[in-house]
Amino acid sequence: MKEPWTRDEASAAGQVFEDRLWALFMEQSRGHLHVFRPLLDRGVDGLLHRLSDGAYFPVQAKGRSSLRKGRVQLLVAADSVTDDHVVIVAGEVVEGGVGPSMLVIPTPDFRHHALLTTADGLPVYSMSFSMQPRSKGRWAPWITPSDRLVERFGVPLGLPALAIAPEPEPLRRGPLGFLGETEIARVLAQAERLNLFRPFPDLETVELAVRHLDTGRVLGFQIKTVSVDRASPNRPVDIRIASFRPAPTTYFTVVAWMPDQRRFHDECLVFPSEDLLQFARRAGPHYMFEFQPGSKRQRRLDRYRRPVATLAAETEGLLSDP
DNA sequence: AGGATTCCGTCGGCAAAGCG
DNA sequence: CGCTTTGCCGACGGAATCCT
């Protein structure tokens, strides 16, 4: 048994707990559940993406480095558990791993069963739960063995590992793709009520997940970048068929970099992944179509053309209640 | 023997201390 | 100031013990 975490190590312990949690999800789901982490912490520590149906689960992780009489105690500010979509996952950090069981509980249930008290005049929820699963306290319905976490998110244990198609090109997403992804993140970051997430690790076809802070709805953007100039104003966009997973929550956006002007074209494409086959064709291992920003001749793409500047507002609209 | 009582570890709750 | 840990207390419930 090593020395207990000191005070200034406590926040580090929280980080360790988070990382072990994400690793557990990846390990237990065999690739069927992907982890996204926030670019900016706005109350959600991670998004779990269930590949079978595209569902997203926002997760708030609560790790404790010491038990209190064999129990994990949580005191959380009331205003930090107001989002009903969030699932709280709490557990213990032990040397080299996590405790044998965890609390996996939706925020509304947590608020309902925890004690609402005050700390220095501010409302705080207080609770504690035992590591022993035999206990039959009020929290028992949400206590889960740490090695069966994914079942709480609708992913059965023992699934065959999801084959990850090896990418033929060593640089599947080169500097240009990163530039486009960063541009979309920059534009979306301007929306006050959107929270951005990136996959962790970076093997998801969805490259950016966007969550609305008010409605809790999530969509994933697959970002494609083309480079256009006078000589080649019309450039192909290809999507690997092996990794293409259309889902109602998945959208594509295509931005056009203009290297001679060192900026992006004002026009981009935004379309639901389920629309792709309406205008793309098969080309070997890829689906393919051409994008020419500003063109009047690609009629089938017209309904998806957008000014980049309106992307944030458009995304907020997509995530608002219908 | 059977019911009542006591005991004790666990659980829930609350406040405050500790710490950078 | 924000966050986690610590101290302390009362309620609960199962089990051991006691009483008649």
Give the model's pLDDT for residue A170.
40
Q: What is the second-level CATH architecture of the domain A175-318?
A: 3-Layer(aba) Sandwich (3.40)
Give the model's pLDDT for residue A297.
84
Give the model's pLDDT for residue A1.
39
What are the residues whose beta carbons fall under 8 Å from the beta carbon of A231, sequence distance 6 or more?
Answer: none
Q: Which residues of chain A have pLDDT under 70?
A: 1-13, 65-70, 118-122, 131-137, 163-173, 203-206, 322
Give the model's pLDDT for residue A240.
87
What is the location of CATH 3.40.1350.10 in chain A?
7-153, 175-318
The nucleotide closest to A114 (CA, C1' atoms): B12
Q: Whole-angstrom Cα distance, residue A186 to residue A182?
A: 6
Please report which helix (H) or strand (E) contains residue A313, including its range. Answer: helix A311-318
Work out if A134's Cβ lies within 7 angstroms of strand C. Answer: no
The nucleotide closest to A14 (CA, C1' atoms): C4
Work out if A128's Cβ lies within 7 angstroms of strand B. Answer: yes
Q: What is the second-level CATH architecture of the domain A7-153?
A: 3-Layer(aba) Sandwich (3.40)
The CA radius of gyration of chain A, in Å to the nearest whole number, is: 22
